[in-house]
Structure formats: C-alpha cells, structure tokens
C-alpha cells in the first residue's frame, strides 16, 4: 500500500532522518517491537525498519533511518508530500511487556538509530507502569538521538558518549555495568542497536543473570517466513527474524553467525550504491 510522507525531519544532517507517515491501518494495530517493510519504487528492494512511534488518533507512524545504502538513499531523496510505493506492516511479534509496576525495573539500551526503535519499546514499558531506565549512546553529543523524547517518560535516562561531550565517557555498556553492579532489582534488559553492541550487552547481562532481549536487524526480503533471508540461530534452533522475531533471548542468539551473514552482503550493497550513482 502506498503511504504519504507527512513530515520529514533531519536528526543528523545527511545521515539520519525521521519521517512521519500517514498510515492509519498500521497505526491502529502496531505495538512496540513491530516493524514495517518498505519498497520505495518499482526497482527498489524491500527492507525493514522498526517502528519508532505511533499515533492512533492521527493515524500516523514514525520511522527513523540511517542513510547507508541504496534503499535508504532513495528514501532520503523523498520529501514531505511524496509517497513511498509500498509499506507493509505491522510485522513481527510485539515486545513482551509485563505490567509489573514500579518495582519492575527495565533497562532499555539503544545505540545508533536503534535508539528510535528502543523509544517505542521503552514507551510501552512506561505505559504499562514499569520503572524504565533508558541507556543511550553515541560518538558525541551531536549524534545522540531521542534524549529529549525519552526524558519525557523514562524514570531515568543515562547517557554515554565516546568523546565525553555528554554523560559518561565511554560506551553504553559502561553505565549499564555500573547499574548492574549497584542495583539488584533490574528485572530485564532490552537492547537495540549495532550487532556488536547487542552481543556485548548480552554477554554482560549473562554474568548478572538478567534476562535480556535483543531486536535483530537481519536482512529481509519477503517478511513472511518464506524466503529464508532473515534466518538466525537461537538456542541451536533456526528462527526467522521476520515471523519469530525480531526480538529474541539475547543469551541464546548465535551472534557470530549473524555477523557473518550480515557481512556477506556488504560487497553487493557497495556494488548497488555504485550502480545507482551512474
């Protein structure tokens, strides 16, 4: 179904943008953790983006993307009022959210554009009445996403920047480890971002026996469990990110296999970018 872009906002010029899409059919049923699959035009590839926010009343959904390949470059070329040829969703399984009250402390960690997707999940936990600690990171303050948005509803927002321009100097794992050391009441951790970040977080939380959910950014084609493009191994079993995920037990994901699968497509992506420049 074609979907109109109602609002476009550059979050990091040339790198990351936020779009508000007119999609009442998706906004009506989308829950935290759900994603959509987009195709920009007839020649475009299908690619997934996790929903960053929904507004049922106005019939809109929000997505945030990093401009890093052919498809996201095509998306970045669109402007307010333009249409995306095909948007399918909501897809995947929603985040499992317990109504545990303020004694149910959840740490939601986001890195890169994963912060936007994490925002929707953190909001879901907050709406359920849980105590939400957001941990976000970036190379520097200028590249940090969603600090203001998260500050509106999270009980705490902890920041790490590589250059120390805001919050703790270091990685998102630094405030996380401090918190895990000092707070025995953390009931669960949710992590969304680059694969190495999610892998590092899962390794860390395993030491503290804190259940951890990761949202995997596998390659997807059909989004219906038919093509096998998004397969991952979780707890020794083959799973399809599009229909079984995108969220999985971080302590059971085979991250090495995931990294190999993602890197095997990088050469093809580089060729595609060159082709579209011609």
Residue 45's alpha-carbon distances to 70, 155, 220, 252, 272, in angstroms, are 9, 39, 10, 30, 11
- Look at the alpha carbons of 245, 248, 254, 257 in this order and tell me if their dihedral is positive or negative: positive
Task: Tell me the three state secondary structure of residue 73.
Answer: helix
Q: Which is nearer to ligand FES, 5 or 117 (CB)?
A: 117
Q: How far is the CB of 47 from ligand FES (least distance, A)?
A: 10
* Cα 37 to Cα 46: distance, rounded to the nearest angstrom: 6
What residues between 37 and 96 interact with ligand FES by CB under 6 A? none
Q: Which is nearer to ligand FES, 228 or 235 (CB)?
A: 228
Contact between residue 79 and residue 174 where contact means Cβ atoms under 8 Å apart: no
Q: How far is the CB of 46 from ligand FES (least distance, A)?
A: 8
Q: Which is nearer to ligand FES, 5 or 214 (CB)?
A: 214
**Residue from 4, 225, 233, 261 in contact with ligand FES (CB under 6 A):** 225
Q: Where are the alpha helices (DSSP H) in the chain?
A: 24-27, 70-77, 114-127, 147-151, 173-182, 195-207, 241-244, 255-263, 266-277
What residues between 228 and 257 interact with ligand FES by CB under 6 A? 228-230, 240, 242
Containing 185, the helix (H) or strand (E) segment is none
Name the segment binding ligand FES (CB under 6 A); options: 1-9, 49-57, 179-187, 223-231.
223-231
Q: How far is the CB of 29 from ligand FES (least distance, A)?
A: 20
Q: How far is the CB of 33 from ligand FES (least distance, A)?
A: 16
* Cα 93 to Cα 32: distance, rounded to the nearest angstrom: 9
For position 223 contacting ligand FES by CB under 6 A, the verdict is yes
Contact between residue 8 and residue 17 where contact means Cβ atoms under 8 Å apart: yes
* Cα 14 to Cα 233: distance, rounded to the nearest angstrom: 35
Q: How far is the CB of 223 from ligand FES (least distance, A)?
A: 5
**Residue from 86, 222, 254, 269 in contact with ligand FES (CB under 6 A):** 222
CA torsion, points 235, 238, 243, 246, in degrees to nearest 10?
50
Total interface residues for ligand FES by CB under 6 A: 12
Q: How far is the CB of 240 from ligand FES (least distance, A)?
A: 4
Place of tokens 């890169």: 112
**Residue from 78, 143, 166, 221 in contact with ligand FES (CB under 6 A):** 221
Q: Which is nearer to ligand FES, 176 or 230 (CB)?
A: 230
Interacting residues toward ligand FES by CB under 6 A = 220-223, 225-230, 240, 242
């Amino acid at each position: 179904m074609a979907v109109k872009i109602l609002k476009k906002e550059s979050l990091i010029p040339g790198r990351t943008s936020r779009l508000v899409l007119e999609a009442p059919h998706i906004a009506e049923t989308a829950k935290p953790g759900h994603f959509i699959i987009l195709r920009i035009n007839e020649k475009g590839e299908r690619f997934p983006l996790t929903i960053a926010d929904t507004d049922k009343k106005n019939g809109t959904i929000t997505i945030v993307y990093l401009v890093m390949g052919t498809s996201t470059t095509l998306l970045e070329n669109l402007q307010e009022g333009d249409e995306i040829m095909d948007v399918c969703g909501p897809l995947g399984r929603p985040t499992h959210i317990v109504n545990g009250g303020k004694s149910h402390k959840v740490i939601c960690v986001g890195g890169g554009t994963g912060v936007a997707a994490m925002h929707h999940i953190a909001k879901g936990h907050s709406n359920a009445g849980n105590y939400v600690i957001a941990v976000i990171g970036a190379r520097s303050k200028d590249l940090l996403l969603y600090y203001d948005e998260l500050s509106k509803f999270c009980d705490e927002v902890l920041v790490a920047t590589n250059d120390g321009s805001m919050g703790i100097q270091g990685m998102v794992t630094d405030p996380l480890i401090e918190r895990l050391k000092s707070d025995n009441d953390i009931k669960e951790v949710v992590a969304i971002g680059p694969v190495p970040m999610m892998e590092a977080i899962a390794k860390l939380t395993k030491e503290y026996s804190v259940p951890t959910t990761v949202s995997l950014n596998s390659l997807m084609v059909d989004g219906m469990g038919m093509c096998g493009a998004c397969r991952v191994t979780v707890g020794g079993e083959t799973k399809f990110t599009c229909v079984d995920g995108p969220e999985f037990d971080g302590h059971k994901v085979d991250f090495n296999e995931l990294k190999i699968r993602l890197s095997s497509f990088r050469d093809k992506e580089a060729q595609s970018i060159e082709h579209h420049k011609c």
